[in-house]
Chains A and B, each alone.
Chain A
Amino acid sequence: MSILTTTPLKCAPSASAALTVTSGSGVADWIVGSWVEFIASAAANLQLAGLVVSPNRSGQQGSNPGVDESEFDIGIGTAGNEVVIATVRLNLFNTNWYGLCVWLFPVPLDVIASGVRVAIRLRCKGTTVTTVSNPVVLLYYQGLDSDNVSTKVTKTAPPAATGVSIIPSVSAWGNSLWSELITSTATEIAIAAICVTQIAANVEWEVDLGTGGAGSEVVATTVRFQQGASVTGTPGGLALPAGLLPIQAGTRVACRLRRNSTSIAAHPNLSITYYDNTSFLTTTLLAPATLATWHAVAPTLTANVTLAAPACHATWTAVAAAVAGGAVTRATPATSATWIAVDPVLNVQTAITAPACVATWTAVAPTLTANVTLAAPACHATWTAVAPAIHGSNATLTTPATAATWTIVAPAVAGGAVTRTTPATPATWRAVAPYITNGDVPPGQGVGTTMRTTGVGH
């Protein structure tokens, strides 16, 4: 794999003035303008690389910081039949945004086939002007020979709407409160950039992107930037490290800021551009073939995942904290190994098989909502299986075939029977199942017959 390329970057138009796109006419916000053709017919498969957006726009709102937000749609298709393949959000304050006036996709979009027409349109926030006209240049590759490409559509949040407003802390470098950007992601997304209007001069800032419920946000990443003496100059697009920040489906996304100032003037219009419906968090992690220590961490998976075990003599740890919507398969080490599998939240079937021979094996799967099979080691092993909450159907926990120490703890099983077989040979065996509920409800929540049992066998 390589993100490197030998392909030249190109632009349209080339060696001539930028083309002007114009927002829709009217007094309402976000009225989209007409499509403007940039490439009549792609000479080959093209990959979108970015936009050059001139600050020399007419109809701009001027010094009002609340009205500089703009969205550029890039579309493909014949005139009148354009389909949006990318939306880019920029806060274009006044007629001055400094630097090079370039917005680059962190991952070029490989979505333009040979012969396809490419067009761009614009919409802006603004209630007191009729249109905004903005010169634009399209940046692209032709036949990009890099792995750093995507076929996903880019979108914005909040879409075609004013960004969130954040009141800073009264203390320098104190955190603001979190402000919600997305209530719940419909699919996995990958955040590409943060867009913000700057209203204060000579400040250094940090913006946190976080995930989690209100009051329980966890910082996903932090960006750092500064604003110079003029508050009228910002391109608005702040890149993220390593390109993209994937966020699992069903996740709330929020942001907060801190800065070296005690002013509490609200910072308006914070928004994001992201790649939609990505699958970065669905992956296959292959183990090393030989002696190695391998640590695979896949904390947010939304579909199938296969974690292959080392072929031999290795220490292997697989952690998959949240897997929803697909099966998980883990292969065990073939030979002597220490293997730890931790699956705290599995919503579908899973099979966790034990090592084939002498090994120490720990499997922890505390919240399972469907069938689960935890197979015991075949021989001489210490095995611990913990599955405290199973909401689904049958669970089968088989014992070691030979001398082993084996512990099963399954305190809450709802909706299905649990079968435990004892070791065939002398072993230490402990089974604890205090809550068994004959109904499809979590333990302790009322419906069905609840029976408390405790069994200890030696």
Chain B
Amino acid sequence: MAAPQWTTNAQQVAPSAATGASITPNGTAWTNSGWVQLLASVSAASVLTGVEVTWPSLSCEFEVDIGTGAAASEVAIATVRGATVDNSGGPAWMWFPIGIDNIANGARLSAQLRKSGTNTTAWNVAATYLLKAVTGTFLTTAVATTIVPAAAAGTSVTAGGSAWANGSWTQLIASTSAAIVVVGVQVKGGAAAECELDLGTGGAGSETVVTTLRWWNNNNDGGPFVYPVVCPLDNIATSTRVAVRARSSTGSYALTVALIYHAKPL
């Protein structure tokens, strides 16, 4: 039975009608910044729908946690992952195909950042959310997103040596600790090219394609290079090896890849 995702709830923004909260990155690669408050208190229990990020001109991979809790006691409820080449382009609203239903009435919202490199120029972050009760059909979970590899550079993947030839399979996860639902993939490429990425499961040499993503990497500019999976992929069981391979209009095209998922049960 068709039951598409929809809602009549108006999306809220924190901070609202204001520049995003400024976060100064840690000077050490992949080390957390301090938590920065986005909103002192939500007016009702809420569902997190996405994160809007503004970054300076630099090439990096990054993760932003959204947290709840009092200052110095923040707990991350979700993480977005992306990559940049410079600060051209936009938009940069990184949304959750499955809403994060883990914000209690009155909760304080905050964010922290970690990234590759040592640049400490400030970023801006805002969160978007729906006040509960949500009218409509919107799959939500209290399970935070998981990133692989976490707090580290994406896995390097190289396309085949000639145009549209498959590259070798590259392992992302040796063995899943639980069944997972894939909601996004970060794919940061090199120069302009057409690209396809197969996500596969199975032992080395016996991988089976479970989905294929296609995109156009243009001029290697901007960001955040996140491919949302609108219908989240629910075909990776526990204790499963996960790998990827690439092909491109440009032979030997180089990518870095990170997987964004929820561990089951949702």
In the complex the two chains form, what is the Cα distance from A96 to B231 in whole Å?
A: 28
CA distance A324 to B158 in the complex (A): 58
Task: Name the distance in Å between A409's Cβ and chain B's nearest Cβ.
Answer: 30
B89 and A233 form a contact (CB under 8 A) = yes
Does the CB pair A150–B4 fall under 8 Å? Answer: yes
Q: Does B249 contact A (CB under 8 A)?
A: yes
Which residue of chain A lies nearest to B217 when distances are taken between CB atoms in the complex?
A: A100
Task: Report the Cα distance A190→B6, complex, angstroms.
Answer: 8
A228-B135 CB under 8 A given contacts A3-B5, A148-B4: no
Contact of A243 (CB < 8 Å), options: B4, B10, B194, B214: B4
A392 at the interface (CB under 8 A from B): no
Contact (Cβ within 8 A) A224 B93:
yes
User: Does A378 make an interface contact (CB < 8 A)?
Assistant: no
- CB-based nearest A residue for B48: A241
Please report which residues of chain A, range 204-224, place their CB below 8 angstroms from some CB of chain B when the two chains form the complex: 204, 206, 219-224
List A residues 147-205 near B (Cβ within 8 Å): 147-151, 173, 190, 198, 202, 204
Chain A nearest CB, measured from B26 CB (Å): 22
Which of B130, B212, B234 makes the CB contact (< 8 A) with A4? B234
CA distance A228 to B87 in the complex (A): 5
Q: When chains A and B are docked, how far (Å) is the Cα of A235 from the Cα of B225?
A: 13
A222 and B92 form a contact (CB under 8 A): no
- Which of A106-114, A120-128, A336-344, A394-402 forms contacts with chain B? A106-114
B54: A residues at CB distance < 8 A? 204, 226, 228
A99 touching B88 by the CB < 8 A rule? no
Chain-B contact segment, one of A5-13, A32-40, A346-354, A427-435: A5-13
Query: Contact check: which of B3, B5, B49 meets A106 at CB < 8 Å?
Result: B5
Is A137 touching B231 in the complex (CB atoms < 8 A)?
Answer: no
Chain B residues touching A, majority SS: strand
Is there contact, CB below 8 Å, between B211 and A241? no
* Chain B 237-251 residues near chain A, CB threshold 8 A: 247, 249
* A244 close to B6 (CB less than 8 A): yes
Once A55-B218, A228-B88 are accepted as A-B contacts, the answer to whether A149 and B4 lie under 8 Å apart by CB is: yes
Q: Which residues of A contact B232 (CB under 8 A)?
A: 3-5
Whether the Cβ atoms of B10 and A220 lie closer than 8 Å is yes
Beta-carbon contact of B6 and A221 below 8 Å: no
Looking at the complex, which one of B7, B20, B52, B192 makes contact with A242 (CB distance below 8 Å)? Answer: B7
A221 contacts B10, CB within 8 Å?
yes
The contact of B230 among A17, A106, A230, by CB within 8 Å, is: A106
The reply to whether the CB of B121 lies closer than 8 angstroms to some CB of chain A is no
B12 interface residue, CB < 8 Å from A? yes
Contact at B233–A229, with CB atoms within 8 Å?
no
* Distance between Cα atoms of A223 and B130 in the complex (Å): 12
Determine if A14 is an interface residue (Cβ-Cβ < 8 Å): yes
Which chain A positions have C-beta within 8 A of B11? 221-223, 240-241
Contact B219–A99 (Cβ < 8 Å)? no
Given A222-B11, A234-B89, A101 contacting B215 (CB threshold 8 A): yes
Contact mask for chain B residues 22-61; partner A; CB cutoff 8 A; 1 contact, 0 none: 0000000000000000000000000001101110010000
Q: A99-B224, A234-B90 are in contact. Are A241 and B7 (CB under 8 A)?
A: yes
Q: Is the CB of A9 within 8 A of B138?
A: no
Query: With a CB–CB cut-off of 8 A, which chain A residues contact B187?
Result: 100
Within 8 A of B (CB), among A233-261: 233-235, 238-246, 258, 260
Pair B223/A98 contact, Cβ less than 8 Å:
yes
- A406-449 CB contact bits vs B (8 Å, 1 = yes)? 00000000000000000000000000000000000000000000
Query: Is B8 in contact with A245, judged by CB distance below 8 angstroms?
Result: yes
| Chain A proximity of B126: nearest CB distance (Å) | 6
Given A100-B225, A149-B2, A224-B13, A17:B194 Cβ within 8 A: yes
Contact status A226-B92, CB under 8 Å: yes
Q: How far is the CA of A206 from the CA of B219 in the complex (A)?
A: 27
Is the CB–CB distance between B88 and A230 below 8 Å? yes
Most buried by A among B3, B229, B231: B231
Task: Kindly report which residue of chain A lies nearest to residue B249, judged by CB atoms.
Answer: A17
**Chain B positions within 8 Å of A281 at CB level:** 8
Instruction: Say yes or no: B20 contacts A5, CB within 8 Å.
Output: no
> What is the interface of chain B, defined by CB distance below 8 A to chain A?
1-13, 16-20, 49-50, 52-54, 57, 86-93, 95, 97-99, 124, 126, 128, 130, 133-139, 164, 181, 187, 192, 194, 196, 209-219, 221-235, 247, 249
Q: Can you list 11 pairs linking A and B with CB atoms under 8 Å apart? A: A1-B3, A3-B4, A4-B181, A99-B89, A99-B224, A102-B227, A148-B231, A173-B18, A219-B10, A258-B17, A297-B135
**Considering the complex of A and B, which 10 residue pairs feature the smallest CB-CB distances, nearest first?**
A98-B89, A98-B222, A225-B91, A243-B5, A230-B88, A233-B89, A6-B235, A4-B234, A101-B216, A100-B215
